Copies of this chain bind each other. A is one copy, B any other.
Amino acid sequence: MTTLGKMGEHEAIRRLTAMLGMHADLTVGAGDDCAVVKLPAIGFDQVFTTDPVVEGVHFLKGEKPERIGNKAVGRVLSDMAAMGAQPQWILVNVVAPADLEFSVLEGIYSGIGRLCGQFGATVIGGDLAKGPVLELHVFGTGILPSGTALLRSGAKVGDRIFVTGKLGDSFSGKHLDFTPRVSEGIWLRESGLVHSMMDLSDGLATDLRHILKQSGAGAEIAADLVPKNGTLEQALFDGEDFELLLTAAPENTESLKTQWAQKFDSELFEIGGITENTGELALTGSGKSRRILTDKAFEHFQTEGGKNE
């Protein structure tokens, strides 16, 4: 066992880099000023995203290192999935106290490498710095055919709304162990049936509001149709589900569901529809009258509906 402080940053980076993969399009890997990659042939757009994962905010001190690595890179892959992009290049900045055991970093990199390998992404660089708490900053790029990225702004009045899995209670474990919906995101883009898409990181109520705002529309969700791991409240507000939220034209709903069922073991849940009531997010069913979820949705909902419906 040795700490980061004893080993030194350069040696630590050298050892961690040796754990990374190679790729035929990676011309210059770690060890020079930049990594150099071949660009794909003409006809592709590139997507960029970055997410921080901070000890005490996104995970607790003492968490299993592989799970920290999985979450850090999983968040970035989930963002790419939300556009329908194929993940490609990953860079990782690590901030850590000098007394951190080096084996923790090895475990984190192991988690990162496993998830990247699963979805065709390659870690090509990054840096290491001292700081008071453990943090990972993962930067990622992906590609997709020009002009095909699925955006938040594409929802149309009448669209049906879908999610790719059960929502809520992510903090009991899933927020660290989740598998980003990369394959599903790419397939959904290629289907040509999806109008808008995003990934669920802040909770269904908050995230759907982004689609409504950017698409200039409203939505009505049927409480009984929302797939739940815990309570309805958790499904609407917990966050960190990392499922995909998408909309498609009503006439394509059956086709989308049929093709999905042939391709994936998991279920595609239809939970409501896009309305013309711009900015309004309404909830129906569950033995209650139609309710409007306001911007202060969480507090409002608690008052109206109680904690355990």
Seen from chain A, the residues whose Cβ lies within 8 Å of a Cβ on chain B are 27-28, 31-42, 44-52, 54, 57-58, 79-80, 82-83, 85, 89, 91, 93, 95, 124-133, 135, 137, 139, 141-143, 146-147, 149, 151-153, 198-199, 214
Integer count of this chain's copies in the complex: 2
> Whole-angstrom distance from the CB of A159 to the nearest CB of chain B?
17
> Whole-angstrom distance from the CB of A276 to the nearest CB of chain B?
23
- The contact of A42 among B27, B42, B95, B152, by CB within 8 Å, is B42
A79 and B33 contacting across the interface, CB-CB below 8 Å: yes
A83 and B36 contacting across the interface, CB-CB below 8 Å: yes
Q: Which residues of B contact A135 (CB under 8 A)?
A: 95, 131, 135
A93 and B46 contacting across the interface, CB-CB below 8 Å: no
Q: Which residue of B lies closest to A27 (CB)?
A: B45
Q: Which residues of B contact A152 (CB under 8 A)?
A: 31-33
Q: Which residue of B lies closest to A45 (CB)?
A: B36
B52 and A95 contacting across the interface, CB-CB below 8 Å: yes
Q: Given contact pairs A28-B149, A54-B131, A132-B133, enumerate 15 new A-B contacts (beta carbons under 8 Å).
A: A27-B45, A31-B152, A32-B151, A34-B49, A34-B85, A38-B45, A39-B143, A42-B42, A49-B125, A50-B125, A52-B129, A58-B129, A131-B135, A139-B139, A141-B141
The 9 A-B residue pairs with the shortest CB-CB distance in the complex, in nearest-first order: A34-B47, A33-B82, A139-B139, A52-B129, A137-B137, A34-B49, A33-B79, A35-B48, A50-B91
B95 and A54 contacting across the interface, CB-CB below 8 Å: yes
B127 and A51 contacting across the interface, CB-CB below 8 Å: yes
A35 and B52 contacting across the interface, CB-CB below 8 Å: no
Give Cα A130–Cα B38 distance, bound, in whole angstroms. 36
Tell me whether A93 and B127 are in contact in the complex, defined as CB-CB below 8 angstroms, given that A32-B198, A34-B142 are known contacts.
no
B127 and A28 contacting across the interface, CB-CB below 8 Å: no
Q: Which residue of B lies closest to A124 (CB)?
A: B48
> Whole-angstrom distance from the CB of A72 to the nearest CB of chain B?
12
Task: List 6 A–B pairs whose Cβ atoms lie within 8 Å, in order of A's numbering.
Answer: A32-B151, A32-B214, A35-B49, A36-B83, A50-B127, A54-B95
> Whole-angstrom distance from the CB of A198 to the nearest CB of chain B?
6
Q: Which residues of B contact A124 (CB under 8 A)?
A: 48
> Whole-angstrom distance from the CB of A46 to the nearest CB of chain B?
5
- The contact of A149 among B27, B54, B142, B153, by CB within 8 Å, is B27
> Whole-angstrom distance from the CB of A20 to the nearest CB of chain B?
13
A93 and B47 contacting across the interface, CB-CB below 8 Å: no
B34 and A82 contacting across the interface, CB-CB below 8 Å: yes
Give Cα A50–Cα B95 distance, bound, in whole angstroms. 13
B39 and A126 contacting across the interface, CB-CB below 8 Å: no
Q: Which residue of B lies closest to A206 (CB)?
A: B10
Q: Which residue of B lies closest to A149 (CB)?
A: B36
B137 and A57 contacting across the interface, CB-CB below 8 Å: no
Give Cα A58–Cα B9 distance, bound, in whole angstroms. 15
Q: Which residues of B contact A58 (CB under 8 A)?
A: 129
Give Cα A39–Cα B47 distance, bound, in whole angstroms. 10
Q: Which residues of B contact A133 (CB under 8 A)?
A: 131-132
